[in-house]
């Protein structure tokens, strides 16, 4: 076993610090410590307690003069003082003294030109297993003389006292970009560690001219990569898992002058309603070395993926090489095609439309999809959801920074951008069936192959997007929603109502250039 002295981490006491243990050893320790149990396939199953998902109200950025003007402060990027951060940091170090700890030293960024070194200090062996599998794992040689660029301390057993510590609750996720330090307290949900790495990369990569993206990506035999943006439930993972293309990554990427690269070395897949039939790659990846969060096991250790009694946000974390057609290392050439995915529950957005560069930047910033009735308490009708850059909680800089970088990348590479509605067409959700997956796959395939470059388009007068009049293996009549709605007046009213929501949402981007503002829907 590799060990460090606690004092090397700034922690007093005589606890043992285990560094970069093998997954098998971490699983053994986690079982001995009572952190979880094994599934029938050998995955380590844990329950994360009170926090079964990210806690956005508990996320803060340290406000210092060096970063103040960089950050887009607001409801997402909340400030915390340096003094409050350092006080919690000192308390966390005191809490951890004399405890056995687990350190993972690894990399974020598969392109070695832009790789950053992260040191993750964990109170729990199970969380250390998770981040070992989610980040890029260094060789023995790379660990020699390793000095981290950023350090993350994750201590779920340490509870903040809001009235003393200036926090929102007992949990805290706070980033000090100047000190290169992240504190995660009170929450055992492993996604907080993963997304803290991403939030750091979303600050540092743009300063190097790299567009950081919340997306999946794959690559064809011709070396051309494709990028898929989309919020939860839009089909991002399903559509990027293409047996004819290799998976670069499922969630976080950078786009440089050389092409696309995965920020991570693993995947963090949703498990609710998972089946071997529909997601065979993910299903097969849940085995020894995988961390399962909040998945219910029966008496034989068999996961019940349909059981959402603890949370609908059940998860599996595993290394990307558990996926058979993964691209190792996770790098690809310049993207030829960009896909924006949305699930429009109002049934008025075209199933696929082509975007010029200004339209692309508009929809990139908008990040639209809709929540369905029943997905959250109190939702009885479809609700519009706008998440800036298809991942608002993780981007610290102003949205215009990322949007303008996308525009520059599109001009430089000539990549084609399509908006794909994987939701409903011809009526709202509940009134008509969802778009058939085989049609959506056919549209995406046509976009990736370039077949949609050779068809006629017309401009949708309400949504201001270019709608194809034909697409291989897709009935032409469904390509324009107005044709499918039986009540044309109802279509018109619903479409204009959604367009108005786009317009209202975009008013908050006061730094956005006029050419992008004018490329959106017309209310």
Question: Which is catalytic among the residues 89, 119, 315, 363?
Answer: 315
From residue 280, alpha-carbon distances to 243, 266, 442, 492 in Å are 11, 17, 20, 41
* HEC letters along 363-396: HHHHCEEEECCCCCCCCCCCEEEECHHHCHHHCC
**Residue 239 in contact with residue 414, Cβ under 8 Å?**
no
Distances from the Cα of 501 to the Cα of 59, 139, 345, 384, 385, angstroms: 27, 50, 14, 8, 10
Is 237 a catalytic site residue?
A: yes
251 catalytic residue (yes or no): yes
Residue of 19, 54, 116, 336 with catalytic role: 54
How far apart CA 135 and CA 152 sit, in angstroms, is: 13
3-state secondary structure 273-310: CCCCCCCHHHHHHCCCCCEEECCEECCCCCEECCCCCC
Look up 315 and say whether it is catalytic.
yes
> Out of 236, 253, 363, 409, which one is annotated catalytic?
236
Per-residue buried b or exposed e for 433-451, using 16+ beta carbons within 10 Å of the residue's own CB: eebeeebbbbbbbbbbeeb
Choose the catalytic residue: 19, 137, 214, 246: 214
39 is annotated as an active-site residue:
no
The residues pairing with 220 across neighbouring beta strands, listed in sequence order, are none
End-to-end CA distance of the chain: 63
Evaluate the omega torsion of the peptide bond into residue 285 and state whether it is cis, within 30 degrees of 0.
no
Q: 9, 171, 188: which is closest to 104 by C-alpha?
A: 9
Q: Are strands 416-421 and 335-342 parallel, antiparallel or unpaired?
A: parallel
Would you say 394 and 199 are in contact if contact means Cβ atoms under 8 Å apart? Answer: yes
| Residue 195: active-site member | yes
Q: Is 132 a catalytic residue?
A: no
214 in active site: yes
Catalytic residue among 59, 89, 91, 195: 195
Alpha-carbon span 118 to 132, nearest angstrom: 11
Identify whether the C-beta of residue 29 lies closer than 8 Å to the C-beta of residue 38: no
- How many residues in the chain? 523
Sequence-ordered list of residues with C-beta below 8 angstroms from that of 289, at least 6 positions apart, any chain: 23, 24, 27, 42, 43, 129, 133, 318, 319, 322
Which residue, 117, 170, 129, is CA-closest to 33? 129
Helix (H, G, I), strand (E, B) or coil at 329: coil
Distance CA(390)–CA(392), nearest Å, equals 6
Select which of 25, 169, 232, 470 is catalytic: 232
Per residue, the 3-state secondary structure of 451-483, as one string, reads HHHHCCEEECCCCCCEEECCECCECHHHHCHHH
**Active site residues per annotation:** 54, 195, 214, 232, 236-237, 251, 315
């Amino acid at each position: 076993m590799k060990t460090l002295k606690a004092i090397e981490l700034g922690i007093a006491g005589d606890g043992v610090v285990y560094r970069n243990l093998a997954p098998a050893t971490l699983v053994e320790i986690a079982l001995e410590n009572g952190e979880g149990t094994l599934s029938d396939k050998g995955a380590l199953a844990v329950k994360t307690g009170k926090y079964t998902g990210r806690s956005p109200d508990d996320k803060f950025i340290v406000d210092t003069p060096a970063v103040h003007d960089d950050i887009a402060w607001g409801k997402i990027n909340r400030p915390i003082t340096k003094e409050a951060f350092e006080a919690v940091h000192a308390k966390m170090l005191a809490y951890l003294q004399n405890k056995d700890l687990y350190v993972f030293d690894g990399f974020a960024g598969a392109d070695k030109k832009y790789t950053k070194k992260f040191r993750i200090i964990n109170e729990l062996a199970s969380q250390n297993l998770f981040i070992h599998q989610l980040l890029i794992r260094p060789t023995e040689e790379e660990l020699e003389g390793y000095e981290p660029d950023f350090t993350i301390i994750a201590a779920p057993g340490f509870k903040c006292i809001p009235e003393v510590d200036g926090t929102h609750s007992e949990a805290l996720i706070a980033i000090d970009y100047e000190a290169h330090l992240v504190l995660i307290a009170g929450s055992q949900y492993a996604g907080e560690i993963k997304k803290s790495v991403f939030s750091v990369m979303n600050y540092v990569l743009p300063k190097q001219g790299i567009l950081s993206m919340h997306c999946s990506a794959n690559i064809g035999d011709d070396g051309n990569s494709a990028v898929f943006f989309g919020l939860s439930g839009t089909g991002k993972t399903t559509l990027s898992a293409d047996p004819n293309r290799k998976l670069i990554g499922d969630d976080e990427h950078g786009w440089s002058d050389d092409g696309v690269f995965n920020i991570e070395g693993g995947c963090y897949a949703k498990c609710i309603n998972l089946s071997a039939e529909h997601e065979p790659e993910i299903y097969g990846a849940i085995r020894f070395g995988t961390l399962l969060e909040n998945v219910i096991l029966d008496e034989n250790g068999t996961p019940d993926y349909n059981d959402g009694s603890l949370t609908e946000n059940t998860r599996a974390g595993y290394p990307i090489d558990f996926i058979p057609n993964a691209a190792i290392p996770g790098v690809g050439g310049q993207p030829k095609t960009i896909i924006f995915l949305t699930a429009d529950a109002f049934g008025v957005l075209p199933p696929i439309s082509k975007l010029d560069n200004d339209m692309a930047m508009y929809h990139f910033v908008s990040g639209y999809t809709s929540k369905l009735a029943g997905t959250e308490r109190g939702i009885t009708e479809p609700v519009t959801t706008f998440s800036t850059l298809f991942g608002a909680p993780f981007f610290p800089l102003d949205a215009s920074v990322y949007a303008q970088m996308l525009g520059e990348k599109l001009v430089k590479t000539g990549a084609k951008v399509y908006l794909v509605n994987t939701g409903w067409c011809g009526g709202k959700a509940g009134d008509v069936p969802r778009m058939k997956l085989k049609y959506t796959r056919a549209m995406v395939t046509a976009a990736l192959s370039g077949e949609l470059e050779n068809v006629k388009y017309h401009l949708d007068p309400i949504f201001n997007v270019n709608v194809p009049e034909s697409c291989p293996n897709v009935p032409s009549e469904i390509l324009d929603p107005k044709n499918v709605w039986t009540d044309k007046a109802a279509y018109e009213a619903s479409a204009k109502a959604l367009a108005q929501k786009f317009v209202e949402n975009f008013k908050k981007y006061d730094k956005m250039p006029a050419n992008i503002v004018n490329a959106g829907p017309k209310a």
